[in-house]
Amino acid sequence: MTGAEHTVATDWHLWLGFLGASFAIAFFPGAGAIQSMASGLTHGLLRSYWSIAGQEVGLMFQLILVAVGLGAVVAKSVAAFTIIKFIGVAYLFYLAARQLRASGGDLREQLSASPVKGGLPLLARGFLVNATNPKALVFYLAVLPQFVEPTVPLLRQYVIIGSTFVAVDVVVMSIYAALATRLHRVLGPRRQLVLNRFFSGLFVTAAVVLALVRRAAV
């Protein structure tokens, strides 16, 4: 095997390993999954893509921080880590309160409105869920170096890694949103209200878990 062939084989090996890791990470229930399901439950699948798009922008924001070295600075700074963490905690509690107040009305009536209406707020919510999660930032710092080949240009690798992770996350978050939308369609208003309370509780749980994260544990 020539040097070039060995490099290509190594690249594919690393990428396939990262692809598998990406699916495992994306399917693991977290704030993003909860937000996707809550959006599907409250707004339907089509409008939930605004929230999913926001999550992916937040994900790319964190990956860029890691790529340029700022992620390590945030992870090592007690003040920066704590500030970002509690902004994330406060925002998750806000989402919990918002989900708790959501109505259990017929989803078909909500979907009769334009899917563009209210899109930007959903986009912003999705972005903030990922962008204010220092736990995810530290996780990327720990995981990404395992899939980076030092002898290959880093920019190309980070573009491939970012594109792969975002594509996988879009697929997985779409599945979560679609399942929640489907569940909403077959349930009556009372049970929909129960589900709203359930997802509100999940947001609270995610907030508590995030609040307990310590920088020293990184």
Domain ranges of the chain: 33-217
Q: What's the pLDDT score for residue 144?
A: 76
Q: What's the pLDDT score for residue 29?
A: 73
Q: How confident is the model at residue 189 (pLDDT cuts 50, 70, 90)?
A: low
Q: What's the pLDDT score for residue 103?
A: 59
Q: Report DSSP state, residue 69.
A: T
Q: What's the pLDDT score for residue 188?
A: 66
Residue type at 120? L
pTM: 0.73
Residue of higher predicted confidence among 66 and 173: 173
Q: What's the pLDDT score for residue 1?
A: 44
Q: Report DSSP state, residue 102.
A: -
Torsional sign, CA 168, 144, 39, 184: positive
Torsional sign, CA 49, 54, 55, 57: positive
Within 13 Å, how many C-alpha atoms sit on residue 32's CB side? Answer: 29
The stretch 72-94 carries a mean pLDDT of 78
Q: What's the pLDDT score for residue 9?
A: 43
Residue of higher predicted confidence among 108 and 143: 143
- Dihedral of CA atoms 76, 77, 80, 86 in degrees, nearest 10, equals 70
